[in-house]
C-alpha cells in the first residue's frame, strides 16, 4: 500500500486526490491523506465574494457533496497546519509535532494575498479576501461601515467592490494601473466594464497606491493616497495580487523562484515531492515565460496531472495559459485568453465593437495568441482551445471576429470541442 500525502485541500489538492484514486474508487487500496489548515471541506474561492455580499452561505460554495471524502476513502486532517518537511526521511511535521510519512507528497499550498506594505496595514478594518473566514469577517465589518476603499482593480478587488456595493456601502476602487483588469483586458475592453461598475455606483481613482491606512484610537478612519488625497473609509480590502505560498518548500531546501519550481511531471527538486496550483511557477504556453500559476483552471489541471504522476501514470504537463478567464461584472460578461495586447513587432491586433460588445484577437505568424471578449463571450472556449493548440487561423480572421467559427473551420484543433460546450469544462467548474 502506497502512502500519498497532500498538503492543501483547494482546487489543486482535491483534483490530485481524485486523480490518484482514479477509477479504482475506494477499492484502490492506496492510503491518501489530505492535510489543510483550513477547517472546511473544499470550497470555491472564486465564489467567496458572494459571502461578503450576504448572498451565499458555505453550502453554496461547497465543491463536493457531504460524505465525499469518506466515500473515496480519503483521510482528512482539516484545521491542521504542516510546519516542516523532512524530504530525506519522506516525512512532514504537523504543528503539534506529529510526523506523517509518505511515499509521494504533493505541495498544493496555494498562495496568500500580497500585502499593501504601508503603515496601518494591521489596523482593524483592513482586510484581504482569500478564505471563507476572510469573507465572513468582512461581511461582519461591513455591517458597521458605510464606506469602503478597495485597493487594486484586479479580479479579486473588483469582485469585492461589487459585493460591498450590494450591501449598500459607498465604494471607491484605487488602482495603480491606467485601467482596471489590466491582466485580463486591454484599455477598450476595460472601459466597458468600468462603465458598468460605475453605473452600479462604484467610484474609481487611477494611478494611485495607498500611502497609509489611517486610524484613530484603534479605529480605521480612511486611506491616504500617494498624492496626499484622503478617502474616508470604515473598511478597506487590499487586492494587490497574491504571493505563492512557498515557505515549506524553501525551508525544506526545494528549488523555489517566485513559486515552487517543477519539471514536466510536476516534480520538485526533492525526490517524491510534487507541486501544483497557485504555489507553483509554470510556463505560459503563449509566451514561454515562467510565471506564478494563480488561476483556478490551472490549479485543477496541474493537480490532476500531479496526482496521475504521483500514482505512476506518467502524464506530462505542457504548460498552461496563465491568462485565461471568464467572469461577469455588472451584468457584463468578460473572457480573455493568452495575450491581451500585442508585444511589439510581428503581432497583428484586430478588433470589432458593436452594441456594447467588444471582441479583439491577436495573431502572430498566422496563429491566434490572444483573445479579449467583452459583452458577448460566445465561443470563448473555442478561442482558448485555438490558442492552446497553436492552430493556424490565417484567412479566418473575419470568422474569429464575428464568432462565427466552428469545428469545420479548424477540423484538427477543435475536434475535441465539436458539438461540445462553448466553454471548456474547467472554466465552467470554477464557478459551479
Ligand atoms: C475572491 C477570489 C476570486 C477569484 N476569482 C478567480 C477567477 O475568477 N478565476 C480564476 O481563475 N481564479 C480566481 N481566483 C483564484 C483561484 O481561487 C485560485 O487560483 C485557486 O483557488 C488556487 O487553488 P490552489 O489549490 O492552488 O490553492 P488554494 O485554493 O489557495 O488552496 C491551498 C490550501 O493549502 C492550505 N495550506 C497552505 N499552507 C499550508 C500548510 N502549511 N499546512 C496546511 N495547509 C496549508 C491553505 O490554507 C489552502 O487551504 C480567485 C480567488 C479569490 C480569493
Confidence (pLDDT) at 415: 52
Confidence (pLDDT) at 348: 94
Angle (nearest 5°) at CA 323 between 280 and 284? 55
Residue 103 burial class via C-beta count within 10 angstroms: exposed 0-12, middle 13-18, buried 19 and up: middle
CATH architecture classification, 332-431 = 2-Layer Sandwich (3.30)
- Whether 248 lines ligand 1, by a CB cut-off of 6 Å, is yes
- Per-residue pLDDT at 400 exceeds 50: yes
pLDDT band, very low/low/confident/very high, at 411 (cuts 50, 70, 90): low
| Chain mean pLDDT for the chain | 92
Q: What percent of the chain has pLDDT over 90?
A: 82
Q: Which DSSP letter does residue 123 get?
A: S
CATH superfamily assigned to domain 126-240: FAD/NAD(P)-binding domain (3.50.50.60)
Residues 6 or more apart whose Cβ sits within 8 Å of residue 98: none
Confidence (pLDDT) at 140: 98
| Secondary structure of residue 54 in the 3-state scheme | coil
Q: Give me ligand 1 centre to Cα 123, in Å.
A: 24
- Per-residue pLDDT at 427 exceeds 50: no
Confidence (pLDDT) at 413: 56
CA of 292: how far to CAs of 72, 245, 280, 321, 366, in Å? 31, 11, 6, 11, 28
Strand partners, 33: 5, 75
Chain centre to alpha carbon of residue 8: 15
Strand partners, 317: none
Q: Give me ligand 1 centre to Cα 24, in Å.
A: 28
**Over the Cα atoms of the chain, what is R_g?**
22
Measured from the CA of 276, which atom of ligand 1 is nearest?
26
Confidence (pLDDT) at 412: 59
Measured from the CA of 45, which atom of ligand 1 is nearest?
17
| Secondary structure of residue 120 in the 3-state scheme | coil
- Per-residue pLDDT at 338 exceeds 80: yes
- Per-residue pLDDT at 5 exceeds 80: yes
pLDDT, mean of residues 379-407: 87
Q: Give me ligand 1 centre to Cα 413, in Å.
A: 31
What stretch of H or E contains 141? helix 132-144
256-280 pLDDT, tens digit each: 999 999 999 999 999 999 999 999 9
* Closest CA to ligand 1's atom 31: 10
Confidence (pLDDT) at 103: 97
pLDDT band, very low/low/confident/very high, at 98 (cuts 50, 70, 90): very high
* Closest CA to ligand 1's atom 6: 46
User: Cα–Cα distance between 85 and 105 in angstroms, integer?
Assistant: 10
* Closest CA to ligand 1's atom 39: 109
55 versus 293: the higher-pLDDT residue is: 55
- Per-residue pLDDT at 417 exceeds 60: no
Confidence (pLDDT) at 405: 73
Confidence (pLDDT) at 419: 37
- Per-residue pLDDT at 27 exceeds 60: no
Q: Which of 106-115, 132-141, 208-217, 288-297 has the lowest mean pLDDT?
A: 288-297
pLDDT band, very low/low/confident/very high, at 422 (cuts 50, 70, 90): very low
**C-alpha cell recorded at residue 354:** 458593436
- Whether 294 lines ligand 1, by a CB cut-off of 6 Å, is yes
pLDDT, mean of residues 355-371: 93
Domain boundaries, the chain: 3-47+55-111+243-310, 126-240, 332-431
5 versus 28: the higher-pLDDT residue is: 5
Q: Which DSSP letter does residue 275 get?
A: E
* Closest CA to ligand 1's atom 5: 46
**C-alpha cell recorded at residue 333:** 460578461
In DSSP notation, 387-413 reads HHTT-B-TT-HHHHHHT---TTTSTTT
**C-alpha cell recorded at residue 166:** 450590494
Strand partners, 325: 336
Q: Would the CA dihedral through 298, 194, 342, 243 be positive or negative?
A: negative
Measured from the CA of 327, which atom of ligand 1 is nearest?
8
- Whether 12 lines ligand 1, by a CB cut-off of 6 Å, is yes
pLDDT, mean of residues 376-401: 91
Q: Give me ligand 1 centre to Cα 88, in Å.
A: 28
CATH classification of 3-47+55-111+243-310, choosing from 3.40.50.280, 1.10.3720.10, 2.40.128.20, 3.50.50.60?
A: 3.50.50.60
Measured from the CA of 82, which atom of ligand 1 is nearest?
42
pLDDT, mean of residues 310-335: 92
- Whether 362 lines ligand 1, by a CB cut-off of 6 Å, is no
Whether the domain at 3-47+55-111+243-310 and the domain at 126-240 fall into the same CATH topology: yes
pTM over 0.95: no
Between the two ends of the chain, the Cα-to-Cα distance in Å is: 34
* Closest CA to ligand 1's atom 37: 109
Confidence (pLDDT) at 345: 87
Under a CB-based contact definition with an 8 Å cutoff, are residues 234 and 248 in contact?
A: no
Number of neighbouring beta carbons within 10 Å of residue 369: 23
Q: Which DSSP letter does residue 210 get?
A: E
Under a CB-based contact definition with an 8 Å cutoff, are residues 209 and 226 in contact?
A: yes
User: Cα–Cα distance between 341 and 363 in angstroms, integer?
Assistant: 10
- Per-residue pLDDT at 424 exceeds 70: no
> What is the residue whose three cell numbers read 478617502?
231
- Per-residue pLDDT at 420 exceeds 80: no
User: Cα–Cα distance between 222 and 303 in angstroms, integer?
Assistant: 41
Amino acid at each position: 500500500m502506497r502512502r500519498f500525502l497532500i498538503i492543501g485541500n483547494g482546487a489543486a489538492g482535491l483534483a490530485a486526490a481524485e486523480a490518484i484514486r482514479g477509477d479504482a474508487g475506494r477499492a484502490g487500496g492506496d492510503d491518501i491523506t489530505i492535510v489543510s489548515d483550513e477547517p472546511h471541506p473544499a470550497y470555491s474561492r472564486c465564489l467567496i465574494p458572494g459571502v461578503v455580499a450576504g448572498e451565499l452561505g458555505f453550502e453554496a460554495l461547497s465543491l463536493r457533496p457531504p460524505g465525499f471524502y469518506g466515500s473515496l476513502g480519503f483521510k482528512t486532517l482539516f484545521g491542521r497546519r504542516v510546519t516542516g518537511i523532512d524530504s530525506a526521511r519522506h516525512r512532514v511535521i504537523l504543528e503539534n509535532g506529529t510526523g506523517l510519512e509518505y511515499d509521494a507528497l504533493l505541495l498544493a499550498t496555494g498562495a496568500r494575498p500580497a500585502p499593501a506594505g504601508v503603515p496601518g496595514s494591521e489596523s482593524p478594518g483592513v482586510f484581504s479576501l482569500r478564505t471563507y473566514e476572510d469573507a465572513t469577517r468582512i461581511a461582519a465589518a461591513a455591517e458597521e461601515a458605510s464606506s469602503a476603499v478597495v485597493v487594486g482593480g484586479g479580479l479579486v478587488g473588483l469582485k469585492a467592490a461589487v459585493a460591498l456595493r450590494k450591501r449598500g456601502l459607498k465604494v471607491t476602487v484605487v488602482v495603480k494601473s491606467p485601467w482596471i483588469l489590466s491582466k485580463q483586458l486591454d484599455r477598450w475592453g476595460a472601459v466597458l466594464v468600468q462603465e458598468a461598475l460605475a453605473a452600479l455606483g462604484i467610484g474609481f481613482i487611477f494611478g494611485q497606491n495607498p500611502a497609509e491606512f489611517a486610524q484613530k484610537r484603534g479605529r480605521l478612519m480612511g486611506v491616504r493616497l500617494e498624492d496626499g488625497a484622503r478617502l474616508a473609509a470604515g473598511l478597506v480590502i487590499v487586492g494587490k495580487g497574491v504571493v505563492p505560498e512557498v515557505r515549506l518548500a524553501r525551508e525544506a531546501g526545494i528549488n523555489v523562484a517566485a513559486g515552487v519550481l517543477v519539471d514536466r511531471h510536476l516534480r520538485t527538486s526533492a525526490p517524491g515531492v510534487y507541486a501544483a496550483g497557485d504555489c507553483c511557477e509554470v510556463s505560459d504556453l503563449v509566451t514561454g515565460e515562467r510565471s506564478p500559476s494563480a488561476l483556478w483552471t490551472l490549479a485543477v489541471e496541474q493537480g490532476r496531472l500531479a496526482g496521475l504522476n504521483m500514482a505512476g501514470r506518467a502524464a506530462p504537463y505542457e504548460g498552461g495559459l496563465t491568462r485565461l478567464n471568464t467572469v461577469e461584472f455588472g451584468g457584463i460578461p468578460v473572457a480573455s485568453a493568452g495575450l491581451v495586447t500585442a508585444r511589439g513587432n510581428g503581432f497583428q491586433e484586430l478588433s470589432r465593437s458593436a452594441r456594447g460588445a467588444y471582441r479583439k484577437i491577436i495573431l502572430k505568424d498566422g496563429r491566434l495568441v490572444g483573445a479579449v471578449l467583452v459583452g458577448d463571450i460566445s465561443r470563448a472556449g473555442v478561442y482558448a482551445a485555438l490558442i492552446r493548440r497553436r492552430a493556424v487561423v490565417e484567412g479566418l480572421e473575419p470568422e474569429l471576429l464575428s464568432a462565427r467559427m466552428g469545428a469545420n473551420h479548424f477540423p484538427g484543433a477543435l475536434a475535441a470541442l465539436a458539438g461540445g460546450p462553448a466553454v471548456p469544462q474547467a472554466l465552467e467548474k470554477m464557478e459551479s
